[in-house]
Amino acid sequence: MTRNCKLIAIDLDDTLLNNQHSLTQASQQAVEKALACGMQVVIASGRMFATTLPTVQALGLQTPVICYNGAMVRHPVTKEILLQESVSASLAAPVLEYARKQNMQLNAYLDDYVYSASENQWMRLYQTRTGAPYKILPNFYEEMADRDFIKMILIDAPETIEKLLPMFQEQFAGRLNVTRSNAEYMEFLPLHANKGSALAFVADLLGVPQSQTAAMGDSWNDLPMLQWAGIALAVENAKPPVKEAAERLFASNDSDGVAEALQWLCGQPLN
């Protein structure tokens, strides 16, 4: 018997994918078994659609994909955009100006590409982790002025991001959702865009009640969907606030924690 779960949303990086950013055979098989026991599986990632899609396709999923931390929901087969919100040009402008003045790495997301002013160590770090298609623009700040974005990310040392986060959250309070998706990433999202609101949208679309929806993640940006879901789960490597929000912890992402969770939800004995 399943644990009254009809739908689970699963984060990718540091949750479903291992430390080599790969999908293991054990996790793939566990997803297949979850589908067989009547559960719907949704991928909910901070990544862009283009870099979320390969994992979705490898799993054979046809459920809507939550990407850009909830700023977009898109169908993996038809490619139809079911939900999309944007950071307006007026709100993007001060972030662009700050990055320019401080010479900080800024990723701007538009049309399933990452746009950047330079290819520095932080851009290479992001690229190594996600394989995202990107374009380096010598006149980045001029070309990106007056553009709306799906999201923006400032990338720097964890201690720098930790220091800047409350400042930007205060500056954009009530106007943007400013969150941390990784120790090095500070994300600027449309105000109402988050994985929780996107999961609510997808669950409604699929006709699954909140009480029968689960969510599993590891990082700060996963908190909204864990807080919304009827069943909140986390991997052992999750950040402390995520562990606190979860009703149950499973093995780390490098030890197939998602596979454990899916076995548990399907009522199967854990290995």
Q: How far is CA 92 from CA 54, 87, 103, 155, 232, in A?
A: 29, 6, 16, 16, 33
4 or 149, higher pLDDT? 149
Class of residue 77 by CB neighbours under 10 A (exposed 0-12, middle 13-18, buried 19+):
exposed
Give 267's pLDDT tier (boundaries 50, 70, 90): confident
Provide mean pLDDT across the span 91-117.
Answer: 96
Task: Tell me the CATH number for domain 7-84+193-265.
Answer: 3.40.50.1000
Where do the CATH 3.40.50.1000 domains begin and end in the chain?
A: 7-84+193-265
Q: How far is CA 240 from CA 45, 73, 199, 212, 222, in A?
A: 19, 28, 22, 25, 12
Q: What local confidence, expressed as pLDDT, does residue 3 receive?
A: 72
Q: What local confidence, expressed as pLDDT, does residue 81 receive?
A: 97
Q: What local confidence, expressed as pLDDT, does residue 1 receive?
A: 39
Q: Minimal CA–CA distance to 235: which of 199, 202, 262, 213?
A: 262
Where do the CATH 3.30.1240.10 domains begin and end in the chain?
A: 89-190
pLDDT in tens, 30-81: 999 999 999 999 999 999 999 999 999 999 999 999 999 999 999 999 999 9
pLDDT in tens, 138-147: 999 999 999 9
Across all residues in the chain, what is the average pLDDT?
A: 95
**Whole-angstrom Cα distance, residue 225 to residue 11?**
10
Question: Strand 113-116's sheet: what is its strand order?
Answer: 134-136, 113-116, 105-110, 151-155, 185-190, 176-182
CA 87 to chain centre: 17
Q: Is it true that domain 89-190 has CATH number 3.30.1240.10?
A: yes
- Can you spell out the DSSP letters for 199-264? HHHHHHHHT--GGGEEEEE-SGGGHHHHHHSSEEEEETT--HHHHHH-SEEE--GGGTHHHHHHHH
Angle, alpha carbons 205-229-37 (nearest 5°): 70
Per cent of the chain over pLDDT 90 is: 93
* Structural contact between residues 98 and 35, judged by C-beta atoms closer than 8 angstroms: no
**Whole-angstrom Cα distance, residue 260 to residue 250?**
6
